Structure 1
Amino acid sequence: MTTITTSAFYERSSRALGDLRKQAESLQGSIGTGQRLLRGSDDPVGAAQLRALSREDRFSEISAAAGARVSSDLALTDSALSDFAAYVTRVKELAVQAASDTLTTSQRAGIGVEMKEIYGELIRLANSRDSAGHALFGGEATGEAYTLDAAGLPVYAGTAQAGELALGEGQTVLRGVTGPEFLNFNGPAGATNLFTLVRDLGLAMQGGSADPAQSARDALGALDSGLESITTAQTVIGGRMNWIDLVSERRTQRSEQRTEQQADIGGADLATTVTALQEIMTVLEASQAAFTRLAGLSLFAMLR
């Protein structure tokens, strides 16, 4: 005959009821969070898979932030290149006017003044800043992309290449172009740069050339080459922006796949979980009622 002491009875009953309450709390937590795994001990393998997926999510967020930054820088670059193209187009219009033999000296001088102003704007534009406040066309330089020498001519002070940013999954992209990549080019007369071309043309219109009309005509071909160099840079920037969009789209698809995996591994089926909770609550209520009745029994109660 097995004898169960009062203390053992209470201890076993309390432990059984406690286990049922823990199960009920776990199921309630799953319903509230939508997650089946609230602790790593619930499913060690599944928990490890969820941690790996969570790390991928964090890396993806970092890559997305980098992609947003480089997209912003490339958009700024594209806008600045459009401004460069507009200025060169205007200089070409002025050069066409100045090439006419019917213009007076004062009229050409007025054209020279506008070209001088455009020259200053080109230098200002070349020293534009990116989203981090660094030189937009200075590669990885933090200061000005161009500084002025003793003669007042702009000199490139940046690095040889624009900074490279990681987009995730082993993909990288250059965040822009350096000034020399599009401001230096080969014209009909050989190598030149946009600053020298516009400055010299402006000076020629203001009396720096014995034949300013011919100087204007000679500059037209170089201006076309300069505009082509800028357009080529815009094409490169546009291609990089498209590449970032493609990588971003792939990142979004991967994120959706991870979300589905996380739901499959750790997600709780609401209907099944609610049913399980109802069953546990029924058992718990019945167990509590049985414990109360048994705890109230005594030898004297049986003798009455």
Structure 2
Amino acid sequence: MTAISTSAFYNQSIANMDKITQATQTLSQQLSTGNRLTHSYDDPIAAAQMRTMQAADTLSTADTANAASAKASLTLTDSTLSQFTDIITKIQTAATAAASDTANASDKANYGVQINAYYQQLVDLSNTKDSYGNYVFSGTSGGSPAYTQDASGNATYTGGASANAISLGGSLSVIPSVTGPEVMNFTTSGGVSGNLLTSVKTLADQLQAGTATSASMNASGGALDQLDAALNQVSSTQTVVGARTAWITTATTVQTTAQTARTSTEAAVGGTDYTTATAQLSQQMLALSASQASFAKLSSMSLFTYLN
């Protein structure tokens, strides 16, 4: 009977100290990691909430990456369109001079050579690549050139019919690029439809061949009219690109607001209450110290010595 009571005392005391030690370790871990939930069974409902929010955080990370990629693509597109504008303006200057009644055949031929060089620059710009090696104006065929040239130098659009939208989170999305035709195709004020590359190539060829006249170039729907319409088209496309870039900024703000709200909720649901945890840790450490002291004192009392 005495042996059983002594054994029970030891077992109970050790079990109690082990329980307090585990509680102390749990509180220490919560304070060091900032997480209240070590295991799902600590608080099943809170753990389920945390899993839902963590899944949302993972999607948010992907959406943020999409937004950054889309913004970079649109920024490159905008920069390229600005270069288009600069070159078209130079072509207009040369074309205006060539359309003057004072320009002779030799002058026009020289302007034709100059405009042909600008034409090649436009073709090169139309096949601009982004940092991933994709062609900016190829739409869904981003891995292939937007425009290809035949033996005579004529450029033909070989990209996709459209560009795909990418998710920015929730129901928000954006189209991160524009296709070649969206940039190049135009309609003059007189209703004449055309393509920038085709118009410039035709003008350069005609000037060099001596078939372009001042009257034809200045006529409604003529070369100068087409260049004006092409410039307006590029400008309009640049406005669209700017609007999409602004939309990404808005969507990113929405993402950031949602992320901040989740972070706050995660801290409330699964985060450590440092004030409470610190107080509890102090209490547990005092309890452990008292239990150890009590065990040492009782185990050395004369009754145990006597019983032994």
Specify the TM-score bucket, using the shorter chain as the normaliser: over 0.9
What does 1:59-208 correspond to in 2, within 5 Å? 59-141=59-141, 142-187=143-188, 188=190, 190-208=192-210
Deviation at 1:209, TM superposition (A): 1.0
Distance 1:178 1:301 in 2: 95
Superposed CA deviations along residues 249-280 of structure 1, whole A, max 9, x for unmatched, are 00000000001001111122222211111111
Q: Tell me if structure 1 keeps the 8 A contact 2:154–2:201.
A: no
Which residue of the other structure, out of 225, 228, 236, is the alignment partner of 1:224? 228
- Counterpart of 2:139 in 1: which secondary structure? coil
Distance 1:2 1:66 in 2: 74
Distance 2:45 2:64 in 1: 29
Distance 1:302 1:121 in 2: 106
Superposed CA deviations along residues 216-236 of structure 1, whole A, max 9, x for unmatched, are 323111111101111111111
Deviation at 1:8, TM superposition (A): 2.0
Find the counterpart in structure 2 of residue 263 from structure 1.
267
Which residue of the other structure, out of 261, 284, 289, is the alignment partner of 2:288? 284
Q: Tell me if structure 1 keeps the 8 A contact 2:36–2:271.
A: yes
Find the counterpart in structure 2 of residue 252 from structure 1.
256
Distance 1:284 1:104 in 2: 105
TM-score w.r.t. the length of structure 1 is 0.93
- AA in 2 matched with 1:249: T
Deviation at 1:189, TM superposition (A): 6.5
Q: Which runs of 5+ in 1 are unaligned?
A: none
Q: CA distance change for structure 1 residues 300 and 146 in 2, over 3 Å: closer, same or farther? A: closer
Distance 1:299 1:71 in 2: 81
Distance 2:304 2:65 in 1: 77
TM-score w.r.t. the length of structure 2 is 0.92
After superposition, the CA RMSD in angstroms is: 1.9
Q: CA distance change for structure 1 residues 68 and 300 in 2, over 3 Å: closer, same or farther? A: closer
Q: Please, which moves more after superposition, 285-294 or 179-188?
A: 179-188
Superposed CA deviations along residues 64-112 of structure 1, whole A, max 9, x for unmatched, are 1011111111111111111111111111111111122222333322211
Distance 1:56 1:225 in 2: 47
- AA in 2 matched with 1:225: A
- AA in 1 matched with 2:182: E
Identity %: 38
